[in-house]
A and B are shown apart, each in its own frame.
Chain A
């Protein structure tokens, strides 16, 4: 405990009367801070704190007489704090980010096109896409002459045509599909040789899809990749891919499971008209549960098509053509309809797909 005694106030004075305390017990005082005023025969004197610290005791009340050398103020005991320096003030430690431990490697850098900044600037200036340029520099670096070469062949090709509208939308949705879907494709052929002349192929396909959806509902569903959940549909809203001068459309025929063939035909005609006239309302292009692409009307046999999420399946119908096949072990020429079923393997099993396709084939192979 540090004690301040009444100092010798000089001039042979032995005592003084406390006039007023300027601090209280428990106060933290700093050196030089006035502690108390005392009155001697000569004058009122202010006594400053000789040290900083916390006041523990005050000896005497105003009006009391104190003799020189007797205790006046007591400070609390404090451990002498070591500043740990002779200059300045060192900050105390704070919790902060610690240095990485050896061995903890950062993430590897994403790989990209290697080109120096000057070359990148040149590429931008000439409108050359860096990723499309074959690098000839050391370590796979794209060089200035690579850019210049690419620019020359681009200028021969003519200016780039930006995609707009439907084409642009297709580019976007195909890209998204590719990023999400895990596609697998099953193919088969339906022997439609028994079909009477004038059979409405599209309507038969629609009917067959309805039958297949009944037989194997797993392909008439929506899949939510984030939630990892699927939603089976009872209704069949069938998107029908249509090729137009403007690009690919896929308007939706609603509730085909509940419609008769004539109704379906009417619906198809109406859709085609509206699409060509560009009067299809936007809702009519949305919400399909499954898609058909009857590309066979133009040509082609089998195809691995693109599943459009949240759908899980798309059926491709190729061109009906006479082919050699085996009937009872003997070669025969029959009219065959090639079928492709591309499905999202995240939500659909091979078995489900096979059953669906078998049902599709079975329905199509009926005479009517």
Chain B
């Protein structure tokens, strides 16, 4: 089985589903001839033609809005927004239309579109290319929000997203695009949406993370294991709708939870998980729920980027503090 990077896994999933379902279209800037600036759509136009892999003008709002139209007419558009730094013009079309079309027509029209975009920092990119906007989308009713943490997850979750009859925001961690390679089988098997994946089981503490931070958290869990602390790691994967059951079951066992995300602290998605833990898991908690996150500052330019992102030492410090609550 070939070992693929995350971006190659995305490419594989797109190719698979375009071959299986003629309704699937890919559109965006530079996705056709150029195969996408990250090569996520590499080779697709050559294989499926310019009617199915469409280079759009430079117009993010349009890309999102025309996807609504295409989806309403029965296509399955997979639109690419080149960087999440440029996703904001899409918010009007996503929030006011994509997420509401089924509801506001009482099911008469629907919007089975996927909007994919690379997110997160740690790639020494210029300004605005390292955004983590997931909390904004998490707050929108009628949307699904998915963030894969590995090549195999990207393959299976993207298939699921394309097949889903409702709009999905699919944020791909840029930092993981090429950093990791994994065996990915092109078997067309979708992973389930709306569930968290338990990457590690544990007795003493539960880490909750998504996207690129999942890997850092797994590394921290391994370091803790060497010190005799058994840490569970939960990869949220589908942030919305949230599978809280998996998280609660783990915290019931461990009594300690640390949520790790790159996005800024305040009103980040970790706050939602922490609130639900307080609401439904309070009597299991031995220690306060901690969030290890980016600071409430603008994501700095590359020189300071490493200090902004939650690194191993901050994660381990949080773990130590949690373990003080014996």
Please give, as numbers and ranges, the residues of chain A lying within 8 Å of B283 by CB-CB distance: 117-118, 121
Query: How far in angstroms is the closest Cβ of chain B from A73?
Result: 43
Complex contact A137–B285 (CB within 8 A):
no
Q: How far is the CA of A145 from the CA of B324 in the complex (A)?
A: 11
Please give, as numbers and ranges, the residues of chain B lying within 8 Å of A118 by CB-CB distance: 255, 283-286
Query: B-side binding surface: helix, strand, loop or mixed?
Result: loop
Complex contact B325–A138 (CB within 8 A):
yes
Query: A-side binding surface: helix, strand, loop or mixed?
Result: helix
Query: How far in angstroms is the closest Cβ of chain A from B113?
Result: 29
Whether, in the assembled complex, A365 has its beta carbon less than 8 Å from a beta carbon of chain B, the answer is no
Query: How far in angstroms is the closest Cβ of chain B from A139?
Result: 10
16 residue pairs A–B, Cβ–Cβ below 8 Å: A116-B286, A116-B288, A116-B325, A117-B283, A117-B285, A118-B255, A118-B284, A118-B286, A137-B324, A137-B325, A138-B324, A141-B325, A143-B325, A144-B286, A144-B326, A145-B326
Complex contact A117–B326 (CB within 8 A):
no
Whether, in the assembled complex, A29 has its beta carbon less than 8 Å from a beta carbon of chain B, the answer is no
Complex contact B326–A116 (CB within 8 A):
no
Query: How far in angstroms is the closest Cβ of chain B from A250?
Result: 46
Please give, as numbers and ranges, the residues of chain B lying within 8 Å of A312 by CB-CB distance: none
Query: How far in angstroms is the closest Cβ of chain A from B196?
Result: 22
Spell out A's residues near B (CB within 8 Å): 116-119, 121, 137-138, 141, 143-145
Please give, as numbers and ranges, the residues of chain A lying within 8 Å of B287 by CB-CB distance: 116
Complex contact A137–B282 (CB within 8 A):
no
Please give, as numbers and ranges, the residues of chain A lying within 8 Å of B288 by CB-CB distance: 116
Query: How far in angstroms is the closest Cβ of chain A from B16?
Result: 46
Complex contact B282–A143 (CB within 8 A):
no
Q: How far is the CA of A121 from the CA of B284 in the complex (A)?
A: 9
Please give, as numbers and ranges, the residues of chain B lying within 8 Å of A143 by CB-CB distance: 286, 325-326
Known: A117-B284, A138-B325, A141-B325. 8 other contacts (CB 8 A): A116-B285, A116-B325, A118-B285, A119-B286, A137-B324, A137-B326, A138-B324, A143-B326
Interface size range of chain B in the complex: 10 to 19
Q: How many contacts between A and B, using CB within 8 angstroms?
A: 29
Closest to A136 in B: B326
Central interface residue in B282, B286, B324, by most chain A CB within 10 Å: B286
Spell out B's residues near A (CB within 8 Å): 255, 282-288, 324-326
Q: How far is the CA of A117 from the CA of B281 in the complex (A)?
A: 10
Q: How far is the CA of A300 from the CA of B310 in the complex (A)?
A: 69
Query: How far in angstroms is the closest Cβ of chain B from A85?
Result: 20
Query: How far in angstroms is the closest Cβ of chain B from A121?
Result: 5
Query: How far in angstroms is the closest Cβ of chain A from B213?
Result: 26
Complex contact A117–B325 (CB within 8 A):
no
Q: How far is the CA of A226 from the CA of B58 in the complex (A)?
A: 81
Q: How far is the CA of A340 from the CA of B294 in the complex (A)?
A: 70
Q: How far is the CA of A96 from the CA of B43 in the complex (A)?
A: 65
Query: How far in angstroms is the closest Cβ of chain A from B207?
Result: 19
Closest to A118 in B: B286
Query: How far in angstroms is the closest Cβ of chain A from B261?
Result: 24
Q: How far is the CA of A141 from the CA of B322 in the complex (A)?
A: 13
Q: How far is the CA of A143 from the CA of B323 in the complex (A)?
A: 11
Central interface residue in B255, B282, B288, B325, by most chain A CB within 10 Å: B325
Q: How far is the CA of A236 from the CA of B2 in the complex (A)?
A: 104
Please give, as numbers and ranges, the residues of chain A lying within 8 Å of B326 by CB-CB distance: 137, 143-145
Please give, as numbers and ranges, the residues of chain A lying within 8 Å of B255 by CB-CB distance: 118
Closest to B282 in A: A117
Leading 9 A-B pairs by shortest Cβ distance: A143-B326, A117-B282, A117-B283, A118-B286, A145-B326, A121-B283, A138-B324, A118-B285, A116-B285
Query: How far in angstroms is the closest Cβ of chain B from A145?
Result: 5
Q: How far is the CA of A119 from the CA of B283 in the complex (A)?
A: 8
Closest to B284 in A: A118
Please give, as numbers and ranges, the residues of chain B lying within 8 Å of A138 by CB-CB distance: 324-325
Query: How far in angstroms is the closest Cβ of chain B from A64?
Result: 54
Q: How far is the CA of A141 from the CA of B326 in the complex (A)?
A: 10
Q: How far is the CA of A118 from the CA of B282 in the complex (A)?
A: 7
Please give, as numbers and ranges, the residues of chain A lying within 8 Å of B285 by CB-CB distance: 116-118
Q: How far is the CA of A206 from the CA of B159 in the complex (A)?
A: 98
Query: How far in angstroms is the closest Cβ of chain B from A288?
Result: 50
Query: How far in angstroms is the closest Cβ of chain A from B285?
Result: 5
Q: How far is the CA of A121 from the CA of B283 in the complex (A)?
A: 7
Please give, as numbers and ranges, the residues of chain A lying within 8 Å of B282 by CB-CB distance: 117
Closest to B321 in A: A138
Q: How far is the CA of A229 from the CA of B288 in the complex (A)?
A: 52
Please give, as numbers and ranges, the residues of chain A lying within 8 Å of B284 by CB-CB distance: 117-118
Query: How far in angstroms is the closest Cβ of chain A from B79?
Result: 31
Q: How far is the CA of A70 from the CA of B283 in the complex (A)?
A: 81
Closest to A145 in B: B326
Q: How far is the CA of A119 from the CA of B256 in the complex (A)?
A: 12
Query: How far in angstroms is the closest Cβ of chain B from A133?
Result: 13
Please give, as numbers and ranges, the residues of chain B lying within 8 Å of A137 by CB-CB distance: 324-326
Closest to A121 in B: B283
Closest to B286 in A: A118
Please give, as numbers and ranges, the residues of chain B lying within 8 Å of A144 by CB-CB distance: 286, 325-326
Q: How far is the CA of A154 from the CA of B284 in the complex (A)?
A: 24
Query: How far in angstroms is the closest Cβ of chain B from A128?
Result: 16
Q: How far is the CA of A145 from the CA of B283 in the complex (A)?
A: 16
Query: How far in angstroms is the closest Cβ of chain B from A354?
Result: 57
Closest to A141 in B: B325
Q: How far is the CA of A138 from the CA of B325 in the complex (A)?
A: 8
Q: How far is the CA of A298 from the CA of B153 in the complex (A)?
A: 83
Q: How far is the CA of A143 from the CA of B255 in the complex (A)?
A: 12
Q: How far is the CA of A301 from the CA of B286 in the complex (A)?
A: 51
